[in-house]
Amino acid sequence: MTTVLDPPKVKEVFTDGVLLHNISWTTYEDLLRANPDTPSLRLTYDRGDLLIMVTSQEHEEINEIFRLLIHLLAEEFEIGFRGFGSA
């Protein structure tokens, strides 16, 4: 018996990524395993939709500003703070 799967369909294209539909969980896991050391690549999966994004320099700059702001607020209010980067 042969099973024919529908090919992925592009749902939306963004300036920094693309949203694909009809992607299997296995394909998502394969992509994660194939790109373990690509910190700028962001893959997000939700019920067959796969969002593939690449972080930009602007994104990282904004991320750093928020990290510093939160760190300063935590220090000022004596709240414990631990950063985990993109994890």
Average per-residue pLDDT for the chain: 82
Q: Answer yes or no: pTM beyond 0.75.
A: no
Give, as one character, the DSSP assignment of residue 22.
S
- pLDDT at residue 75 is higher than 80: yes
28-63 tens-digit pLDDT: 999 999 988 887 788 999 999 999 988 777 777 888
Question: Alpha carbon of 5 to those of 1, 2, 9, 11, 23: distances in Å?
Answer: 13, 10, 12, 17, 10
**Higher confidence at residue 87 or residue 36?**
36
